[in-house]
């Protein structure tokens, strides 16, 4: 689960980390009040969307102006103008994809005088099973480019959970960033605060880009991106409350209600499969036959008829879906349950696109019988190859 920059900064602040003062707003009036209370003389108006690269992003609407999604304002009038332009407009950044994201809230923040911009992030390193820090002097810009062109400028290390964060970790960060004296001390304090926030809130990722040195010699977290480990969210109801459903795919939200593993994709063939491995193989074979999957969907081992019906409805509600491939291996799952779920869903929502069903395993004969006796226009397939060939042919014939 992801949250907005201003929410992430509130968490960092709770752990004592240095962030700018700011107020989240939803209207021009709120922005005026926020800018007045902050006092100026410099404000930054920041689009709050769950994607980075906002500063260099571009709005789709000409009315939003030429500037990007993060704007420096020198007067309260300018703050109001920017908020008026950006609210409701669609921001396209390197991370949003071409469709962009609508800006529904803005963060009005104190402007900082920047001396230097660094990069700092934390994540769970799967290789070591530890929380790792990644730091670089090359902040503010695309860290992927730094990693590719000048990997020596990135320093990483991980923290032993048995000792937790130690003073030497802080010194490693200070050295990597070329900080001495009081700034090195600040780096040590910040490292401890960030580590406490990361582990205390069960974060999966924390990225501060840029971490700055101000002209008056203070370290500050100028941007913050946080995502949480979804398996630990049950321990943090206050973090779950920060969820912004408008930032999430509505089909994925619906799927999460039924505990389905569903990820929306860009293709045309909707897939309903049981088992993550089989779902991956099904997506691969669709591509092999020249089409693209519209989703990843694993209904799981012991799915009920209700779950299958919900899954089928989510797939058919996607306007990009031009055909559906149901590929079930009945191990724990019984083929007749799948057949009943599919039929119930089709009766409920109708079927406007071709449907290929491949069933194998437990109660396969019964499953096939249920489908053939239903009178539905279902194309039966013998194996995975046959199924992929048939659905791709049906979709292409339909186009
Ligand atoms: P993104 O990474 O999505 O582009 P950032 O929050 O990193 O958004 O902002 C982009 C750039 O805008 C920063 O690298 C920094 O140079 C500038 N900036 C952001 N916040 C402030 C601020 N409070 N004061 C001054 N400059 C800022
Ligand atoms: Mg940034």
CATH of the domain at 279: 3.40.50.261
Residues 94 and 119 in one domain: no
> Cα Rg for the chain, rounded, in angstroms?
25
- The atom of ligand 1 lying closest to the CA of 55 is 4
- 53 or 253, greater pLDDT: 53
Residues 121, 96 share a domain: no
Cβ atoms within 10 Å, residue 60: 14
pLDDT tens-place string over residues 325-351: 999 888 877 888 888 888 888 888 888
Q: Would you place residue 258 in the very low, low, confident or very high pLDDT band (cuts 50, 70, 90)?
A: confident
pTM of the model: 0.81
> In this structure, which residue's CA is closest to atom 7 in ligand 1?
223
Rounded mean pLDDT of the chain? 93
Range 140-154 average pLDDT: 89
Residue 1 in domain: no
So what's the pLDDT on residue 18? 98
The CATH number linked to 57 is: 3.30.1490.20
Number of domains in the chain: 3
d(CA 168, CA 176): 12
- Binding residues for ATP, by number, are 46, 53-55, 109, 112, 117
DSSP one-letter string for 69-128: SEEEESSHHHHHHHHHHHTT-EEE-TTT-TT-EE---EEEEE---EEEEEEEEEEEETTT
- Structural domain range at position 139: 114-239
Q: Whose CA is nearest to atom 16 of ligand 1?
A: 140
pLDDT tens digit sequence for 273-332: 988 999 999 999 999 999 999 999 998 877 777 888 889 889 988 899 999 999 988 887
Residue 70 CA, ligand 1 centroid: distance in Å: 6
Q: In this structure, is residue 15 part of a structural domain?
A: no
Give the domain CATH number at 140: 3.30.470.20
Return the minimum-mean-pLDDT range out of 41-55, 120-134, 271-285, 370-384: 370-384
Domain check: are 209 and 263 in the same one?
A: no
Domain membership flag for residue 162: yes
Ligand 1 atom closest to the Cα of residue 68 is: 4
How close is the Cα of 70 to the center of ligand 2, in Å?
10
Residue 399 clears pLDDT 70, i.e. is over it: no
Residues 130 and 53 in one domain: no
Cα(14) to centroid(ligand 2), Å: 21
142: its two tokens: 């695309």
Q: What is the mean pLDDT of residues 155-175?
A: 97
- Beta-ladder partners of 159: 131
Residues 103 and 119 both lie in one domain: no
Question: Which tens digit of pLDDT belongs to each residue from 68-110?
Answer: 999 999 999 999 999 999 999 999 999 998 989 999 999 999 9
pLDDT of residue 24: 98
Buried b (16+ CB within 10 A) or exposed e, 287-300: eebebebbbbbbbb
Same domain, 262 and 393: yes
Which atom of ligand 1 is closest in space to residue 139's alpha carbon?
A: 14
Active centre residues (catalytic): 119, 207
As a whole number, mean pLDDT of residues 40-56 equals 96
344 shares a domain with 271: yes
CA-nearest residue for atom 19, ligand 1, is 222
Asked, for residue 172, whether it belongs to a domain, the answer is yes
In a mutational test of the pocket of ligand 1, which residue from 42, 55, 225 has the highest number of ligand atoms less than 8 Å from its CB? 55
The answer on 168 and 141 residing in a single domain is yes
Do 77 and 171 share a structural domain? no
Weakest mean pLDDT among 13-27, 223-237, 332-346, 348-362: 332-346
Residues with CB under 6 A from ligand 1: 20, 44, 46, 52-55, 70, 109, 111-112, 114, 117, 140, 209-210, 222-223
Residue 7 lies in a domain: no
CA of 387 from ligand 2 middle (Å) equals 45
- The residue from 91, 110, 129 where one domain ends is 110
pLDDT, position 300: 81
Q: Answer yes or no: do 191 and 272 share one domain.
A: no
Burial class (CB in 10 A: 0-12, 13-18, 19+), 351: middle
Same domain, yes or no, for 164 and 127?
yes
Q: Does the pLDDT of residue 127 top 70, yes or no?
A: yes
Residues 332, 236: Cα–Cα separation, whole Å: 33
Would you say residue 106 lies in a domain? Answer: yes
- Cβ-count burial of 4 within 10 angstroms (0-12 exposed, 13-18 middle, 19+ buried)? buried
Reply yes or no on whether the pLDDT at 398 is more than 60: no
The binding site consists of 46, 53-55, 109, 112, 117, 209, 223, 274, 331-333
Nearest listed ligand to the Cα of residue 207: 2
């Amino acid at each position: 689960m992801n949250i907005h920059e201003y929410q992430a900064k509130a968490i960092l602040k709770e752990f004592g980390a240095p962030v700018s003062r700011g107020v989240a707003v939803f209207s021009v009036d709120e922005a005026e009040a926020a800018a007045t209370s902050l006092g100026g003389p410099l404000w930054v108006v920041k689009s709050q969307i769950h994607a980075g690269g906002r500063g260099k992003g571009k709005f789709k609407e000409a009315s939003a102006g030429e500037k990007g999604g993060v704007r420096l304002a020198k007067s309260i009038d300018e703050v109001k103008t920017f908020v008026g332009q950006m609210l409701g407009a669609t921001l396209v950044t390197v991370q949003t994809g071409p469709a962009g994201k609508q800006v529904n809230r803005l963060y009005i923040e104190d402007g900082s005088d920047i001396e230097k911009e660094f990069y700092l992030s934390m994540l769970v390193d799967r290789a070591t099973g530890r929380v790792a820090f990644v730091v670089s002097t090359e902040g503010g810009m695309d860290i992927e480019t730094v990693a590719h062109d000048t990997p020596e400028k990135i320093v990483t290390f991980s923290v032993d959970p048995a000792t937790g964060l130690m003073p030497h970790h802080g010194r490693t960060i200070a050295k990597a960033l070329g900080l001495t004296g009081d700034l090195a001390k600040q780096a040590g304090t910040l490292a401890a605060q960030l580590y406490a926030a990361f582990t205390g809130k069960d974060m999966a990722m924390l990225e501060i880009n840029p971490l700055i040195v101000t002209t008056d010699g203070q370290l500050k977290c100028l941007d913050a991106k946080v995502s949480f480990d979804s398996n630990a969210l049950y321990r943090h109801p206050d973090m779950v409350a920060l969820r912004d459903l408008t930032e999430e795919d509505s089909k994925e939200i619906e799927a999460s209600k039924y505990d389905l593993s569903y990820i929306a994709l860009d293709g045309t063939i909707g897939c309903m499969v049981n088992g993550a491995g089989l779902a991956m193989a099904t997506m691969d074979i669709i591509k092999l036959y020249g089409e693209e999957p519209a989703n990843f969907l694993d209904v799981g081992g012991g799915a009920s008829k209700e779950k299958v019906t919900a899954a089928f409805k989510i797939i058919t509600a996607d306007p990009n879906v031009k055909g559906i491939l149901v590929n079930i291996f009945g191990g724990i799952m019984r083929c007749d349950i799948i057949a009943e779920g599919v039929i119930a869903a089709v009766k409920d929502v109708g079927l406007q696109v071709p449907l290929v069903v491949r069933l194998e395993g437990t109660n396969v004969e019964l499953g096939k019988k249920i489908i053939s006796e239903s009178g539905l226009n279902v194309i039966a397939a013998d194996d995975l190859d046959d199924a992929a060939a048939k659905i791709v042919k049906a979709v292409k014939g339909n186009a």
